[in-house]
Structure 1
Amino acid sequence: MLEALSAFIANYGYLNLFILSFLASTVLPLGSEALVVALIYKGFNPFAVVLVATSGNYLGSCTTYYLGLKGRPVLEKFLSPSPEKLEKSEKLFKKYGLYTLLFTWVPGIGDAITMVAGLMQLPFRYFSVLVFLGKFGRYFAIAYLTVFFSN
């Protein structure tokens, strides 16, 4: 069983990482960090792993942002966000502004922040740059620490 899983990761590692990273940023209770670490340990290029994970997670956030642009009824239909998380994210967004988007990688509130950015009709160019940078920073840190501690 372990050999089959190892072969599956080796053969479809980047694709699996992209899909998992995408889904993890659309309020599904998933995480992609363990796969990032596993791929690096399996010898995958750390920079490519970071770019694939970042791209998938960023595009998932764009999907969540888009649903936010469509309004609360659409969000509730497709993602069922908790009202508490949305309210907490709205308060953070109003208090700290755009730069809250740098923290969309934080578990528990990150997805709600992207929803709120859409609900507040934040221009996509600001959303895009800040979310990508935040997510890249997270995956870069995970990859760096993995490489650092594996030597």
Structure 2
Amino acid sequence: MWEATGYIGLFFSAFGAATLLPLQSEAVLVALLWAKQHPSWALLLVATIGNVLGSMVNWVLGRYMERWRDKRWFPVSAKRLESVQNTYHRYGRWSLLLSWVPIIGDPLTLVAGLMREPLWSFLALVTFAKATRYGVLCWITLGWA
């Protein structure tokens, strides 16, 4: 029972951290690695899957948010939206390799949906970026433990 609780907590913290919520999944992963009750490869897999699925929520939101851009309550000005779109055009899909970076990564996945980035390339780049980030974190943590 306790083993599943660690995986579930890690999954939801990673999922939430990838959305626009201010959560930190790295602390949960490090704590579980230090506890040494779960295989590190399984923790890496759960964190990556949760984080990528959270990023997909952003992608879906971005995919459909432009239909409301003319509403008064729309959270982004037309000028800011155009600026973001121009930036994404300049750097393209490869900018998704930065989806792991705090502060810019989550909005970047939303913009990818807004810019109609195909799901297959979105998933490939975001999964690579997020798995690499968690992999490096596991490597550093296990080196210290």
What TM-score bracket applies, with the shorter chain setting the length? 0.7 to 0.9
- 1:23 counterpart = 2:12: no
- 1:120 counterpart = 2:111: no
Alignment of 1:1-151 (within 5 A): 12-43=5-36, 44-72=38-66, 90-150=85-145
Q: 1:86 touches 1:112 (CA, 8 Å); kept in 2?
A: no
Amino-acid identity (%):
40
Structure 2 gap ranges (5+): none
Q: Distance in 1 between matches of 2:50 and 2:56?
A: 10
CA distance change for structure 1 residues 15 and 82 in 2, over 3 Å: closer, same or farther? farther
Structure 1 gap ranges (5+): 1-7
TM-score w.r.t. the length of structure 2 is 0.84
- What residue in structure 2 maps to residue 4 of structure 1? none
TM-score w.r.t. the length of structure 1 is 0.81
After superposition, the CA RMSD in angstroms is 2.6
**Pairs aligned (count):** 139
Aligned residue for 1:135, secondary structure, equals helix
Q: Distance in 2 between matches of 1:52 and 1:65?
A: 20
Letter in 1 for 2:107: A
CA distance change for structure 1 residues 88 and 37 in 2, over 3 Å: closer, same or farther? farther
